[in-house]
Amino acid sequence: MPQSSSADPRGSAARGSRSAAVVRRLTRPPSFPFGTGVRVSLWVSVVVTAALFGWGAWQRRWIADDGLIVLRTVRNLLAGNGPVFNVGERVEANTSTVWTYLITFFAWLGGSIQLEYVALTLTLVLSVAGVVFAMLGTGRLYAPGLRGKRAVLLPAGVLVYVAVPPARDFATSGLENGLVLAYLGLLWWMMVCWSQALRASPRPVANQPFVIVLAGVAGLSVLVRPELALIGGVALVMLLIATPGWRRRAVLVVAGGLLPVAYQIFRMGYYGLLVPGTAIAKDATGSKWEQGFTYLANFNQPYLLWIPLMLLAAVGLVLFATRTMPWWSTHRPPPGVSRFARTVQSPPAVVAFMVLSGVLQAVYWTRQGGDFMHGRVLLTPLFCVLVPISVIPVVLPDGTRFTRVGGYLLAGSTTAMWLAIAGWSLWAANSPGLGYDATRVTASGIVDERRFYSQATGNPHPLTAADYLDYPRMRAVLVAIDNTPDGALLLPSGNFDQWDVVPALPPPLPRDPNYRGPHTVFFTNLGMLGMNVGLDVRVIDQIGLANPLAAHTARIEDGRIGHDKNLFPDWAVAEGPFLKEPPWIPTYLDEDWIAQAEAALKCPATDALLNAVRAPMGPRRFLSNLVHAAQLNSYRIDRVPLYELARCGLPVPPPKQPVYGGMPPTGP
């Protein structure tokens, strides 16, 4: 039979088909066949669990005040003002870079769809996707050990996660929790695929395109949330150890580091910092161990989380002891791969990686002091620890590899523990949580944030910025802005229906009838406030999330966690174009403190800090910020103006009020 020539279209088609097959083989992860029963049970478990989680999250739907903070930045991005919270002030008020730009992209794509609904949809879909990825990854982990066996895969660890009320609360909060869940689930699934590659292939094909994508996903961790670099960084190191050849390793380094390094250069040049502004405001490198243990107990106590964790640990030990969990291999690793490399690129190494990552995250947050929102920051470590046993296999005896008594004993014990986990999940899902203390800020400073805002607004599902107008002071701030067309600084009053007004400097003469003076609002709840006022209104806080001065003050040791910086409002009067003396300032402000703060702002280092975020952006400013980012990152000021003057070595302005010197002498 004559050979096909190069001009033969059938030969070209065959070669093209073979090439396409090679590309598919290289890029797709290795596959292990499931039995029909195992496959069906896995997908039924996935669908049922995802539906329950989605339904449960929808029943508790809301958008947090902190979720609205993100949307203020998105509004500025869409308006062409850049990734800022206030126009003309480069502050990175959002922790998750990916979350900010993801919402921006879908908001731009959605056109007229309200931002709150874009965020709500994204966070709910991503939360459910994270659970799905976790279950599929764990099902894949068990596939080699279940080959040829009669078994079913049942949801276990995921039942524990979705049963905890905070997990459903933060599945629709508008915060990046859903993104974190989806990211960790995807990373787990890809790492399991990677760990099985050596044993699924008869020769050491590294699946390089797949590994490159995995390296990119691992490197993205720091942009999802900064502390996730502890997870993504370790994953990238594992890839580098297991990948042969320096050239391939260099490719992985570029894939994993290109986007994070590029954004880090942008952050340093644009914001003048090494980390997000939220990390400066909350002193992410500080330690509050005692508060952290309080937060840990606050999360565990209402749900007795130690019970399901012990049950799941027992299930894991049973699976390991009976070789149901694939420990090393189904295929012998190919020759030419070092013992250390194949140990790193193995299912047990990936399981250990995810569990230890969860433990490390829990230690980090305990050291940091936790959070003021009940359970929020411990959801990530809980998810990581539960992922490797998110589903469990129940192997049915078939008379071949198990004795009749031993097989039924194994299946019975596993089923009994699963029923106990399911029973706990049903109880925890209907738990009252923190009970009567849920909406009270007690000594711990921790509250159930969703219930707090539902009660404060009178709305069981506050979703939009307009829903938060029923929060104390919110409607009043709109009235105060309308009543001060010449501009003003608005300070929260003790009366929930009004604001204290510090008038702006009088407008220039002759007066333009269209003149509208500058407005600044000084308030803690930046999200609801920032989304209900125009982008021309400067919104700042005493905590430092959107206020560069407050962010660079020292942390108050006994302050409420997450709110442990507190800049006096005198600074807001001092740095703005406002009248700074009585009778224009409220009586609780001190005229001398304002004068001292105004003088302290002339401190050269403080002036450099403010120029870094307020001076017009250009190549020279970008390079200056880039060079001085580390110095600006560590710079701190004293929140007491008099002490700040002493720190800077500046003279104290003469007092504007008479100094009390005691009673005058009496008698001769």
Residue by residue, DSSP assigns 205-226 as ---HHHHHHHHHHHHTHHHH-G
Whether residue 360 lies inside any domain: the answer is yes
Mean pLDDT along residues 437-457:
90
- Determine the pLDDT at residue 108: 95
Whether residue 137 lies inside any domain: the answer is yes
Query: Of 510 and 84, which is predicted with more confidence?
Result: 84
> How far apart are the C-alpha atoms of 342 and 354, rounded to whole Å?
18
Whether residue 72 lies inside any domain: the answer is yes
* pLDDT higher than 90, residue 402: no
- DSSP three-state, residue 153: strand
- DSSP three-state, residue 412: helix
Mean pLDDT along residues 65-80:
96
Joined tokens for residue 664: 């005058």
Amino acid, res. 54 = G
* pLDDT higher than 90, residue 525: yes
Whether residue 482 lies inside any domain: the answer is no
> How far apart are the C-alpha atoms of 372 and 268, rounded to whole Å?
29
- Determine the pLDDT at residue 244: 86
CA 308 to chain centroid: 25
- pTM for the model stands at 0.89
- CB contact at 8 A, 645 and 596: yes
Number of compact structural domains in the chain? 1
Residues of 81-90 as b/e, b for ≥16 C-beta within 10 angstroms? Answer: eebbbbeeeb
> How far apart are the C-alpha atoms of 467 and 116, rounded to whole Å?
11
Whether residue 474 lies inside any domain: the answer is no
Sheet of 499-503, strand order: 499-503, 488-492, 519-522, 538-540
- Determine the pLDDT at residue 546: 94
> How far apart are the C-alpha atoms of 476 and 490, rounded to whole Å?
11
For 464-480, what is each residue's pLDDT tens digit? 999 999 999 999 999 99
Whether residue 73 lies inside any domain: the answer is yes
In this structure, are strands 519-522 and 499-503 parallel, antiparallel, or unpaired? Answer: unpaired
> How far apart are the C-alpha atoms of 321 and 398, rounded to whole Å?
19
> How far apart are the C-alpha atoms of 62 and 171, rounded to whole Å?
9
Q: Which of 562, 361, 451 is nearest to 169 (CA)?
A: 451
- DSSP three-state, residue 462: coil
DSSP annotation of 436 reads: G
The H-or-E segment that residue 596 falls in is: helix 591-600
* pLDDT higher than 80, residue 612: yes
Mean pLDDT along residues 239-250:
91
Whether residue 278 lies inside any domain: the answer is yes
For 349-388, what is each residue's pLDDT tens digit? 999 999 999 999 999 999 999 999 999 999 999 999 999 9
Whether residue 81 lies inside any domain: the answer is yes
Cβ within 8 Å of residue 215, ≥6 positions away: 236, 239, 252, 253, 255, 256
**Bond preceding residue 226 cis, omega within 30 of 0:** no
The H-or-E segment that residue 488 falls in is: strand 488-492
Query: Of 76 and 8, which is predicted with more confidence?
Result: 76
For the chain, give the percent of residues with pLDDT over 90. Answer: 69
- Determine the pLDDT at residue 22: 40
> How far apart are the C-alpha atoms of 621 and 272, rounded to whole Å?
9
Tally Cβ neighbours within 10 Å of residue 140. Answer: 22
> How far apart are the C-alpha atoms of 546 and 662, rounded to whole Å?
43
- Determine the pLDDT at residue 660: 56
Place 39 in a pLDDT band, splitting at 50, 70 and 90: confident
- The CA-atom distances, in angstroms, between 154 and each of 139, 382, 392 are 10, 19, 5
Query: Of 523 and 556, which is predicted with more confidence?
Result: 523
List the domain range (segments joined by +) for residue 44. Answer: 32-329+337-437
- The CA-atom distances, in angstroms, between 659 and each of 589, 654, 655 are 16, 11, 8
For 159-209, what is each residue's pLDDT tens digit? 999 999 999 999 999 999 999 999 999 999 999 999 988 765 544 444 688
CA 513 to chain centroid: 46
